[in-house]
Amino acid sequence: MKKKSLLLILLGAALIMPMFANGQSEGSEKTYKLRTSTNLAATGTIGRSLTKFVELVNEKSDGRIEATANFGSELGNQSEQVEMCRTGSLEMVVAAPGTGPGTWVPELMMFEFPYIFKDNAHYRRVLKGMEDEVSNLVKPYGMVARAGMSQGSRDMLTKTPVTKIEDIKNMKMRGPNAVYISMFDSLGAAGTTMDWNEIYTALSTGVIDGMEASPSMINSMRFQDSAKNLTITDHIIACTYYFFNADWYESLPEDLRAIVDEAADEAAAYQAEIDDQDQIDALEAMKAEGVRVIELQDKAKWVEACKPMLDEYRAKGDNWNSFIDKLTSIE
């Protein structure tokens, strides 16, 4: 009798233990972990919107999803964070498409191309209109794309003033991917790639003569500590998407997937709202710190110098041509 009772107890324990191992008890729902990350600062508009996204997911899911966020280089550089997402060590990464999944789908670099978008409002329409296309392109590499967000028009921050195109000749300028390097070559500068979180040291030690980004992004990282000249070039508008690990995203019950999508859209709308004002505030803050803001008098020369680049990128193949056509067809 004792042996039989012991056997029944052990059998019951064996049935119950897997439930607790998965974070469940009998009758409860499964809890999903959502670890997110961005290589950008928590204080920037992308970082603030990620904080908003995490809060929304936790609130809307009533604890069925446990979302957390990391910022800057806490988990490595951008490419390392993207790889973590692809392999499932992260459930979501906020990344620029060209310098993130662009490793496998290089045509995504076209999102950051000089002088092909009219303005920020146009750019945001492109991001929304291309969401499904981006998802389709990254799906074979284990990711799903949602919530495209503009980071604003980019300008050039340099140690010595750039007032005209001739001034940038031979300057060592940091850019995040091959499109930027092509652009610097077209403008007569010497482009180099490095991770976002390496720029501050590179500027302060003279490894580079300058970098480029939107005023909000520059100010969030305090790059103006080492370079005091900001030339308003509006050469490129850059973006990020939320890239989810596809296996994780597709494992969600339909109601939770809808919550994640809704929270991502709300976070993107919030980022758009705060980013426009933050660009203005950041520019004024840098001016107050002694940064010289330079308006180009020969902008047409910059646009003209970059024009041949589009034909060069179209010549890369049908996949590039197809993507460029889809990108530029959105008004």
Q: What is the pLDDT of residues 101-125, one digit of tens each?
A: 999 999 999 999 999 999 999 999 9
The amino acid present at 163, given as its one-letter code, is T
Pairwise CA distance, residues 152 & 239, whole Å: 8
Is 134 within 8 Å of 95 (Cβ atoms)?
no
Q: What is the per-residue pLDDT for 73?
A: 87
Q: Which of 86, 1, 107 is nearest to 326 (CA)?
A: 107
Q: Tell me, which fold does domain 29-328 have in CATH?
A: D-Maltodextrin-Binding Protein; domain 2 (3.40.190)
Pairwise CA distance, residues 69 & 138, whole Å: 22
The amino acid present at 41, given as its one-letter code, is A
Domain boundaries, the chain: 29-328
197-251 per-position pLDDT tens digit: 999 999 999 999 999 999 999 999 999 999 999 999 999 999 999 999 999 999 9
Report, as ranges of residue numbers, the positions in the chain whose pLDDT lies below 70: 1-28
pTM of the full structure: 0.86
Pairwise CA distance, residues 177 & 181, whole Å: 7
Pairwise CA distance, residues 232 & 156, whole Å: 7
Q: Could you tell me the two tokens for 191?
A: 């482009």
CB-neighbour burial class of residue 189 (10 A; exposed 0-12, middle 13-18, buried 19+)? buried
End-to-end CA distance of the chain: 80
Q: What is the per-residue pLDDT for 8?
A: 41
Q: Which of 92, 97, 129, 125 is nearest to 110 (CA)?
A: 97
Is 264 within 8 Å of 35 (Cβ atoms)?
no
Is 88 within 8 Å of 188 (Cβ atoms)?
no
Q: Could you tell me the two tokens for 201?
A: 């040291």
Is 82 within 8 Å of 243 (Cβ atoms)?
yes
Backbone angles phi, psi at 114, to 5 degrees: -70, 130
Q: What is the per-residue pLDDT for 25?
A: 39
Pairwise CA distance, residues 228 & 292, whole Å: 6
